[in-house]
A and B are shown apart, each in its own frame.
Chain A
Amino acid sequence: NAGVTQTPKFQVLKTGQSMTLQCAQDMNHEYMSWYRQDPGMGLRLIHYSVGAGITDQGEVPNGYNVSRSTTEDFPLRLLSAAPSQTSVYFCASSYSIPGGVNYGYTFGSGTRLTVV
């Protein structure tokens, strides 16, 4: 049981390049989300998904795309990297408990992205 696996762990991009951050979970969680963490800003939600085939925008979605073709995978695509996207990116997954709320999130170990 690996939990939530993120790849790569580190990445340096040039401005304008595109790339995909991978996220996979093996816990059969229906809920997955992407956050970015910047100093002093806490965790800000980029996109989330409540199940395969369903995605929605979070607080800071501009410049990012997601898809959810399977329950296990939730990749995050940077369309044209900008220095403002330099950050640490975390993927998280969860499941629903009685009452309709999500149980505590399981986070991946993060991807540290630098855009130069």
Chain B
Amino acid sequence: GQQVMQIPQYQHVQEGEDFTTYCNSSTTLSNIQWYKQRPGGHPVFLIQLVKSGEVKKQKRLTFQFGEAKKNSSLHITATQTTDVGTYFCAGNSGNTPLVFGKGTRLSVIA
């Protein structure tokens, strides 16, 4: 079945440093989604990418969808303590259920 791999599993950064997490799928995706989960909380939808090569920005967050629609990345510029949490990518093909990566846990040291 479809698999979504996410790296790294953990990332510790100093406040102000940049952060990137990568997502790779075993199959071509119809869309990729990104979620953030704060410690003790629930996943919160951040963004959805559907077009090959698409790039979207939300303030300090930049999301990319690969040309082959099999990989994606989330880049945070100048991290802040409010960025702490686990970031999940999730994707599917057609009408299949969304498959989540295992997430990247981000710690920010002030």
A interface residues with partner B (beta carbon < 8 Å): 33, 35, 40-45, 48, 50, 58-59, 90, 92, 99-110
Contact, CB under 8 Å: A107 / B43: yes
Contact, CB under 8 Å: B100 / A42: yes
Q: How large is the interface on B (under 10, 10 to 19, 20 to 34, 35 or more residues)?
A: 20 to 34
* Complex Cα spacing A102 to B92, Å: 9
Is B85 an interface residue, CB under 8 A from the partner? no
In the complex with contacts A33-B97, A105-B98, A42-B103 CB distance below 8 A: yes
Q: How far is the CB of A5 from chain B (nearest CB, A)?
A: 12
Is B24 an interface residue, CB under 8 A from the partner? no
Contact, CB under 8 Å: B30 / A99: yes
* Chain B residue nearest to A90 in the complex (CB): B42
Contact, CB under 8 Å: A100 / B100: no
